């Protein structure tokens, strides 16, 4: 028998996280990102800053930079984006960027030829330990997610649980996955758990 845990589901459009060195190259030495909007995950935000991404087939203009800076620059695309721009990016967990393709990033003050860092983010569910423990959910566990919509109710497998004391309950899918379920803006989904 399965029971459900209701959780916010948000679609993640293509975006980039920069390390400080690349931020300095693209926007100027010592540059700091400008807060546009705080995101649900504590401390994470969309910045006012945007960059252009150059791939073999086309250029994506005005890609939003998310903050704060990370250890490694990481560009997150959906598979449809990858086909459009001509980059064969693997599906990976965020932060797992070694051995991935790169791209050219153009900012207002400079350019970066990124050697690696382009991924399709594996769908994942964030939890604070206080939210995960009562459900018996452990960090790294694979979960099922049900997205119920009028015409395209969808169950996604392979949702990675990410449990950290600086997270709060929220699922991230990419735009392809959101469109497949016809989910539109952020909605509530259901984590399916065996009783």
The number of domains in the chain is 2
Closest CA to 121 of 158, 166, 164: 158
pTM of the model: 0.94
Q: Report yes or no: 100 and 149 within 8 Å, Cβ to Cβ.
A: no
Give tens-digit pLDDT for 122-171. 999 999 999 999 999 999 999 999 999 999 999 999 999 999 999 999 99
Residue 112 β-bridge partners: 105
Give tens-digit pLDDT for 26-61. 999 999 999 999 999 999 999 999 999 999 999 999
Last residue of a domain, one of 90, 121, 152: 121
Q: Range of 187's domain?
A: 2-11+123-194
Last residue of a domain, one of 62, 93, 121: 121
**97 and 28 within one domain:** yes
**29 and 91 within one domain:** yes
CA distances from 150 to 6, 147, 182 (A): 17, 10, 8
**161 and 76 within one domain:** no
């Amino acid at each position: 028998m399965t029971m459900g845990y209701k959780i916010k589901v948000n679609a993640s459009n293509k975006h980039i996280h920069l390390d400080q060195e690349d931020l300095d190259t693209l926007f100027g030495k010592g540059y700091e990102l400008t807060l546009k909007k705080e995101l649900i995950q504590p401390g994470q935000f969309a910045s006012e800053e945007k960059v252009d991404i150059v791939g073999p087939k086309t250029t994506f203009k005005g890609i939003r930079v998310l903050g704060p800076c990370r250890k490694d620059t990481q560009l997150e695309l959906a598979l449809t984006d990858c086909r459009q721009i001509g980059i064969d990016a693997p599906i990976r967990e965020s932060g797992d960027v070694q051995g991935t393709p790169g791209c050219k990033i153009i900012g207002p003050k400079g350019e970066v030829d990124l050697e690696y860092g382009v991924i399709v983010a594996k769908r994942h569910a964030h939890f604070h330990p206080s939210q995960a423990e009562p459900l018996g959910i452990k960090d790294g566990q694979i979960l099922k997610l049900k997205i119920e919509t009028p015409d395209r109710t969808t169950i996604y497998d392979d949702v990675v649980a990410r449990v950290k004391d600086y997270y709060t309950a929220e699922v991230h899918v990419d735009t392809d996955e959101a469109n497949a379920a016809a989910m539109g803006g952020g909605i509530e989904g259901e984590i399916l758990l065996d009783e």
